Structure 1
């Protein structure tokens, strides 16, 4: 491959990664916007919602690393699908609530009540478990 082909390959891969990341963030954005609409949560502008969603997404990735490890260590010796599912919902819900609480405290343009944070966290935890690919089975 010459220099021109290598550059075209790198540019093409970069554009593909940007497209995929934009698609994922877009789905996440419209999902959060839909939840906010259902729960009548007010926000000042679309940009404040974009900052909220990106912040939740980035902080969520970091927190999810720890919550997955805690979940794996917690259910190592537990038998029974019901108990494992309950523990997973609790751990996912707490980690998502922690992310929502942290981002909400740093932003002035979106204000969530504690009850709303808990409802959104549990809803997102259940949706994440439902749409999670079945790699644990």
Structure 2
């Protein structure tokens, strides 16, 4: 009879682990959805303000998702470049200007790349630069990493 109680205890333990993993997975999905929603509505607002035309809402969704996931890779590279540039610099203004320049350039490269692969959204060079600068300002100001 004790073996039977152990089996029941192990089954409850497995069910608890499955519930925990499912809860964590749901939390991760919600966080990613929130971040993508923030990017999506931000891009919609920027595109509306700048008069960017797009064929459908789904083309905008593809643009934002592509921008977000490619941005993760580009952001890793730009952070390494930033750390290499500022490792011997102590002046806060110089560090800010270097970071702003790197963020602007990486955002523009990312926007240009995503725009070139999509036919349903057409960004002019001027609009790409304006969006890249705006995103660089937001990323630089709102980043919690205080170097």
- TM-score range, shorter-chain basis? over 0.9
Deviations 1:42-74 (A, max 9, x none): 111111000000000000000111100001110
The 1-side partners of 2:21 and 2:97 are apart by: 45
Aligned length in residues = 136
More helix by share: 2
Q: SS state of the match for residue 111, structure 1? A: coil
**SS of equivalent residue, structure 2 residue 48:** helix
Shift of 1:90: 0.5
Return the offset for 1:79. Answer: 3.0
CA RMSD of aligned residues (A): 1.0
Q: Does 1:122 align with 2:130?
A: no
- Counterpart in the other structure of 2:72: 61
Gaps of 5+ in 1: none
TM-score normalised to structure 2 length: 0.89
CA distance in 2, matches of 1:55, 1:41: 17
Runs of 4+ in structure 1 over 2 Å off: none
Pairing of 1:1-137 with structure 2 (within 5 A): 2-133=13-144, 135-137=145-147
